[in-house]
Amino acid sequence: MTAATDARAPQTTVDKHLDIGAQINDHSAYLFGVSADVFSKDAVLLHTGPVEAIVERIKSYIENFARDGRCLIHLNQIPLDTPSEHVHAAVAACHTYGRYPIAENLDDVQFEIPEREDFSDFRKKIGA
């Protein structure tokens, strides 16, 4: 008898994580009116860009969800070949627009992506 057919069988670690993920999704949908399937589309946006659209998406989330202090933006399920500039842009947008207290008008906040070392250059430097 397998865990799938025996309700008394102990959950595996993967099962527990999937269950927790489902609970988080349900809770997020309850709190914010947005489910994880909406956020999963952001992995595609992070992959394809452009940077301006990524920054605008992050700014929109902060504008609509963070003003009352209940916003968590996490970047996950990012395809391996996603340009690092796209990920850096998303993180920079979170740091710039998500700083409390949230600016009255996010369009007035100056946004700049900090210059980052290319990962392949970093790997060469450390001998990897």
> For the segment 81-123, what is each residue's pLDDT rounded down to a tens digit?
999 899 999 999 999 999 989 999 999 999 999 888 877 888 8
Paired tokens of 3: 């865990």
The DSSP secondary-structure symbol of 108 reads: G
Which of the four pLDDT bands, split at 50, 70 and 90, describes residue 34? very low
Residue 94 belongs to a domain: yes
State the residue range of the domain holding 98.
Answer: 34-126
Compute the distance between CA of residue 37 and CA of residue 65 in angstroms, rounded to an integer.
Answer: 17
Residue 18 belongs to a domain: no
> For the segment 40-88, what is each residue's pLDDT rounded down to a tens digit?
568 889 999 999 999 999 999 899 888 877 778 888 888 889 998 999 9
Greater model confidence, 68 or 35: 68
Residue 67 belongs to a domain: yes
Compute the distance between CA of residue 96 and CA of residue 75 in angstroms, rounded to an integer.
Answer: 16
> What's the number of domains the chain is made of?
1
Q: What's the angle, vertex CA 55, arms to CA 42 and CA 22, rounded to 5?
A: 30
Q: What's residue 7's pLDDT?
A: 52
